[in-house]
A and B are shown apart, each in its own frame.
Chain A
Amino acid sequence: MSTPTITATSSSTMTDVVNLSTLVERVDDGSTVGFGGKTLHRAPMAFVRELVRQDVSNLVAVGLANSMDVDLLAGTDQLEAAAYGYVGFEAYGLAPNVRQAIEAGELEAREGTCYTVATGLRAASQGVGYLPVAGLAGSDLLDVGSDYLAETTDPFTGESTYAVRRIRPDVAVVHATEADTSGNVRFDGADLTEELLAKAARRTFVTAERIVEPDAFATDPGAVDVPGVLVDAVAEVPYGGHPCSCPGAYEYDRDNLESYLEHSRSNDLEDYLEGVLGEDESTYRAASIDGRESALEWQPTTSLDSPTEVSS
């Protein structure tokens, strides 16, 4: 990693509205790519599928807590390394392809914690080379992660502390509920690391369930989650988070995720991809979504009983 230099996140204030394949063509082989969303939620899956279609290679994946986005790219052998706090499928199990690739020594694991990855991204967003971080005392992660985690000394007190090297993605990829043509982004639900990634990365690419008219958010600018000034290009991609969830739009697709996991565990990922990938996202939606829209639709959870009095 070179000496820190302070440069703007974006060289231009213009945001391009493009299609998905054009967006992904802008990702070079060997890029470091940060993925927004957390675990099964708002992962930019359509973007990942297009990375697979275009076979962009030797990528370094970055994220706090990821699932199928990073795991699929490990399964298609497009990752050189992953810098992560967690990759897994929560109650559905370990990440089969990441697991296999690391166990086989084919994927460089830059393991930290969700907090160290966040801190590395914060360093990039602040234009500094590293930041101190709390925690980590006694962790073996310090031994295996000496390229990016270090024990150091507080220059003011002389006390021991820990430092995280900056993590500066070449590209941050964010999936959103909606984006306007200036790249202002809004999502339903809480921020799932998207703003942090957009501030840390050299360029930010957004896929959105829908593109809305210019200045759609002008009456309520506080509703914008990632301002367009941080965004380089947007593409409209309905179901762009599927089979992960897009809060407010659709639930995660349990059948699809379980099919992916089963195929991956039995070394049959190609078979899964053959069935769903297709030549573009319209083919994907025809194979994986059509007819299932209402089953996947996001709905508030419903109560099944009336309140109960309880003794202590």
Chain B
Amino acid sequence: MAADHVARLADGGLVVTARATHDPAPETECTVAEVMTWAIVRRLEDIGVAFQGFASPLPTVALRVARERTGVTHLSASGAVDGEPAAMPLSTEDAHLLEGASAQFTSPEAFDLAARGGVDVMFVGGAQIDRHGRLNNTVAGSWAEPTVKFGGGGGTGSLLGLVEEAWAWRTEHRPRSLPADVDFVTATGNLSYLITPLCEFERRNGELQVVSIHPGVSRERIRERTGWDVQFGPIERTPIPDADQRALIERVDPNRVRRSGFETLSALE
């Protein structure tokens, strides 16, 4: 897949081809996708074992970067332990993640490990995530009369209550996907963290509260785009990764799969 998206020029430069449709801003060096990636990398500093499932390109890039920096153990649904591919694949079940891996460990084995208390962090997506940190990956509307059928229980449906912490990420931040209460509770449990293109949340006293706001984002915008009366804890400004940090992200993810799923991305300085 790498060859489809990035070609090397004779002078050593890169050209991102038109086929890199997952990157909405191919000319832009730093966007909120890099800010989010780096925020997760920093957060992984003291984590021992983390698991990543399918359809999770941005957290998988962050795990790969964190492994280079601080040595987290990276279990992948692809079956890879500590995979080190030269370029991250867009599908996070892809056997390319086995390149450079130290061992194979299949996803049912990773589920077992979580069930017996051996997974510190799992990355989770959620078609809907509510103020209580509950996930819906099943239906919008109701089970009897769904308006949208989502992908299904996946790994998180069982694991949310088994892992030490579940960290959620979303590539957009809007009320219908961050409602006060999900339409259907696919899973509830230990979701402790959520990062979106606007901010970072942590779950405190049972509720997701904003703890960090990304550059250029206002509290008002977060209020408008969140489906509940969002509370702000002590607030930090999410840092923009510096040039070296961005270079590391770019090195492990030259195809920029971390930008997949974002509708638009604009330049940050």
Q: A residues bordering B, Cβ < 8 Å?
A: 38-41, 64-65, 84-88, 90-91, 94-95, 98-99, 102-103, 109, 111-116, 118, 133-141, 143-144, 188-193, 196, 245, 247-248, 251-252, 254, 295, 299-305, 307-312
Pair B87/A303 contact, Cβ less than 8 Å: yes
Pair A65/B54 contact, Cβ less than 8 Å: yes
Known contacts A103-B147, A295-B4, A311-B245, then 15 further A-B pairs from the complex at CB < 8 Å, ordered by chain A residue: A85-B154, A86-B54, A99-B148, A102-B146, A111-B153, A113-B155, A113-B156, A114-B154, A138-B134, A143-B143, A188-B95, A190-B79, A190-B80, A303-B254, A312-B69
User: Which of B27-35, B158-166, B199-207, B226-234 touches A?
Assistant: B158-166
Residue of B nearest to A144 (CB): B143
Pair A111/B138 contact, Cβ less than 8 Å: yes
Q: How far is the CB of B118 from chain A (nearest CB, A)?
A: 12
Contacts of A118 in B (CB 8 A): 108, 111
Residues of B127-164 contacting chain A, CB below 8 A: 134, 138, 143, 146-162
Pair A310/B185 contact, Cβ less than 8 Å: no
**How big is the B interface, by class?**
35 or more
Q: Which of B22, B187, B247 lies at the interface centre, i.e. has the most chain A CB atoms within 10 A of its CB?
A: B187
Q: How far is the CB of A43 from chain B (nearest CB, A)?
A: 11
Known contacts: A39-B54, A85-B154, A98-B149. The answer to whether A138 contacts B95 by CB under 8 A is no
Pair A141/B138 contact, Cβ less than 8 Å: yes
Residue of A nearest to B151 (CB): A88
Q: How far is the CB of A4 from chain B (nearest CB, A)?
A: 21
Q: Which of A38, A144, A190, A245 lies at the interface centre, i.e. has the most chain B CB atoms within 10 A of its CB?
A: A190
Instruction: Give the complex CA separation of A230 and B73 in angstroms.
Output: 34
Contacts of A95 in B (CB 8 A): 151
Q: Is the C-beta of B14 less than 8 angstroms from some C-beta in chain A?
A: yes
Instruction: Give the complex CA separation of A90 and B53 in angstroms.
Output: 10
- A135 contact from B99, B161, B261, Cβ within 8 A: B161
Q: B residues bordering A, Cβ < 8 Å?
A: 1-4, 6, 8, 14, 19, 22, 53-55, 57, 68-69, 77-80, 85-96, 98-99, 104, 106-108, 111, 115, 134, 138, 143, 146-162, 184-189, 242, 244-245, 247-248, 250-251, 254, 257, 260-261
Q: Which of A114, A254, A303 lies at the interface centre, i.e. has the most chain B CB atoms within 10 A of its CB?
A: A114
Contacts of A114 in B (CB 8 A): 53, 107-108, 111, 153-155, 157-158
Q: Is the interface of B mostly helix, strand, loop or mixed?
A: loop
Pair A85/B87 contact, Cβ less than 8 Å: no
Instruction: Give the complex CA separation of A114 and B108 in angstroms.
Output: 8
Contacts of B184 in A (CB 8 A): 140
Contacts of A116 in B (CB 8 A): 153, 157-158
**Pairs of residues from A and B, 8 with the lowest C-beta to C-beta distance, nearest first:** A190-B79, A247-B95, A113-B157, A135-B158, A189-B95, A113-B153, A88-B151, A134-B115
Pair A85/B153 contact, Cβ less than 8 Å: yes
Residue of A nearest to B7 (CB): A304
Contacts of B149 in A (CB 8 A): 94, 98-99, 102-103, 109
Contacts of B14 in A (CB 8 A): 304
Known contacts: A111-B153, A144-B143. The answer to whether A41 contacts B108 by CB under 8 A is no
Contacts of B85 in A (CB 8 A): 300-301
Q: How far is the CB of B159 from chain A (nearest CB, A)?
A: 6
Q: How far is the CB of A132 from chain B (nearest CB, A)?
A: 10
Pair A136/B157 contact, Cβ less than 8 Å: yes
Pair A113/B154 contact, Cβ less than 8 Å: yes
Contacts of A312 in B (CB 8 A): 69
Q: How far is the CB of B59 from chain A (nearest CB, A)?
A: 13
Residue of A nearest to B108 (CB): A118
Known contacts: A94-B149, A140-B184. The answer to whether A311 contacts B94 by CB under 8 A is no
Known contacts: A134-B115, A302-B87. The answer to whether A190 contacts B245 by CB under 8 A is no
Contacts of B93 in A (CB 8 A): 38-41, 65, 90, 192
Instruction: Give the complex CA separation of A34 and B151 in angstroms.
Output: 18
Contacts of A86 in B (CB 8 A): 54, 151-154
Instruction: Give the complex CA separation of A133 and B242 in angstroms.
Output: 45
Residue of A nearest to B157 (CB): A113
